[in-house]
Structures are given as C-alpha cells and as structure tokens.
C-alpha cells in the first residue's frame, strides 16, 4: 500500500471538522503511545502489536490533517526527505543539526 492509498482509504472515516479533530487526535494518540512506555515503570508489559496499533492511530490522524489541508501524504513525505537530504547529505551530523543554514526549518 502506498501512503496515498492509505490516505484515500483513511479518508472514508473522516468526521466533521477534520483540521481540529486531527490536531487534537494527534496529541491524544501520541499520549497513548507514551502511556504504554510509562506503564513499563509500573511493571506492565506491552507488545509490538499494541504499539503498532497506536502508531497506526497516529498515522490516521496525520492523514486526516493532511487531507484537511489538501496535501497528500506522499507530498509531505517527499518534502521531508528532500529537506533531510539537503540538511544531512552524508547522513546525520550533530554539527549540522546545531548550526543550520538560514531558512532551514
């Protein structure tokens, strides 16, 4: 499945006011994923499947946000990789991370 295929299928279940819903939902779903890790300190066990399901919920919220903005996930992913290639042409470099060029957001 491509990112755009996923986005199209996810859009079938978008509810009212997707911009705000997706932003609030992103925060909530990241909180749920973090909660899994927090519970480890209390002795709870977790599974890859549980963490993957939460990651899927995060992806759904991101797809909803992108849809509300008229962007495709492929466009956003490509833009991000292009930015990272320009910033770190030889792979991650802490020095380049600390001292970015003007306009490198």
**Which CATH number fits the domain that encloses residue 72?**
1.10.287.1080
Q: Which residues form the domain of 71?
A: 3-98
Q: What is the pLDDT of residue 44?
A: 96
Q: Is the pLDDT of residue 7 over 90?
A: yes
Mean pLDDT, the chain, rounded, equals 96
Alpha-carbon span 104 to 86, nearest angstrom: 9
- Give the pLDDT band (50/70/90) at residue 103: confident
pLDDT per residue as tens digits for the range 13-55: 998 899 999 999 999 999 999 999 999 999 999 999 999 999 9
pLDDT per residue as tens digits for the range 42-97: 999 999 999 999 999 999 999 999 999 999 999 999 999 999 999 999 999 999 99
Q: Is residue 83 part of a domain?
A: yes
Q: In sequence order, what DSSP letters do the residues of 7-37 get, joined into one string?
A: HHHHGGG--SSHHHHHHHHHHHHHHHHHHHH
- For the segment 96-100, the average pLDDT, to the nearest whole number, is 92
Q: How many folded domains does the chain comprise?
A: 1
Note the pTM of the prediction, 2 decimals: 0.90
Q: What is the pLDDT of residue 63?
A: 98
Q: Is residue 80 part of a domain?
A: yes
Which stretch of DSSP H or E encloses residue 64?
A: helix 48-69
């Amino acid at each position: 499945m491509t990112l755009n295929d996923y986005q199209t299928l996810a859009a079938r279940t978008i509810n009212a006011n997707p911009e705000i819903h997706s932003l609030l939902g992103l925060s909530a779903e990241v909180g749920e994923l973090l909660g899994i890790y927090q519970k480890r300190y209390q002795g709870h066990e977790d599974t890859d499947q549980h963490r993957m399901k939460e990651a899927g919920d995060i992806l759904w919220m991101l797809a909803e946000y992108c849809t509300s903005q008229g962007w495709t996930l492929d466009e956003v992913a490509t833009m991000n990789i292009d930015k990272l290639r320009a910033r770190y042409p030889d792979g991650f470099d802490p020095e380049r991370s600390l001292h970015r060029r003007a306009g490198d957001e």
